[in-house]
Amino acid sequence: MENILIEKQDNIAVVTINRPTKLNALNKATIQELHEGFKQLNEDTAIKVIIVTGSGEKAFVAGADISEFAHFSVEEGGNLAAKGQELLFDFVQNLSTPVIAAVNGFALGGGLELAMSCHFRVASDNAKMGLPEVTLGVIPGYGGTQRLAQLVGKGRAMEMVMTAGMIDAQTALNYGLVNHVVSQEELLEFAKGIATKITRNSSIAIGKAIEAINANYKDGINGFNVEIKNFGYCFGTEDFKEGTTAFLEKRKANFPGK
């Protein structure tokens, strides 16, 4: 793959978007590579957590590659958003393997949309986040209007989108957009520390929990019913047998891969 790097260690994979001369901007090729990378890692039974970050110190992802769509028609613009959401942003959100965004530097436009599609986010203290699309005469098209409002509330999302302004890492933390803020030097190791805690738990249960939590944000779906169904499903798994047996035997559970 030309635009991303994948490293695997101890049940954790780190996906690095590697276009530093373009501030890791998302073009069609990078979106396709990310889709393929996430798909492969989700199918890898040894990988229990995925961390996604950007190469270099300046940017996680500074946005979409505007040169690719500057002359698009109405139909082409709609197709661009639909295809992108299907290939990457919705795909990541619904992945059964947990995905942590390690946001280093600028996360703008499609970059923030990618971070928001991950299951949660940690940021470096120099991170800047925003959705500046209205300065180009367009709106966020990769789920940004929906996920930002879900994460920070309607009023703050309206202000961020309308002003096209950037917020710093501390503000993002205060808004609930990110879970933690650490120094840039600590960022990846901090994310790996959280990932390591996750790897000790049941991958099957975590995947079912992701599905149940996401269900609350889908129209026409009763999240409580999904929780009930997934709760019951877990009772038929080897992970449940191991987890409950380990508890009763007063030892740590030894869960297999996915």
* Among 36, 75, 76, 113, the one annotated catalytic: 113
Q: Catalytic site residue 113?
A: yes
C-alpha triplet 135, 140, 142: angle, nearest 5°: 150
Supply φ then ψ for residue 236, to 5 degrees: -95, 10
Contact 169, 127 (CB under 8 A): yes
Out of 2, 133, 185, 211, the active site residue is: 133
Catalytic residues: 113, 133
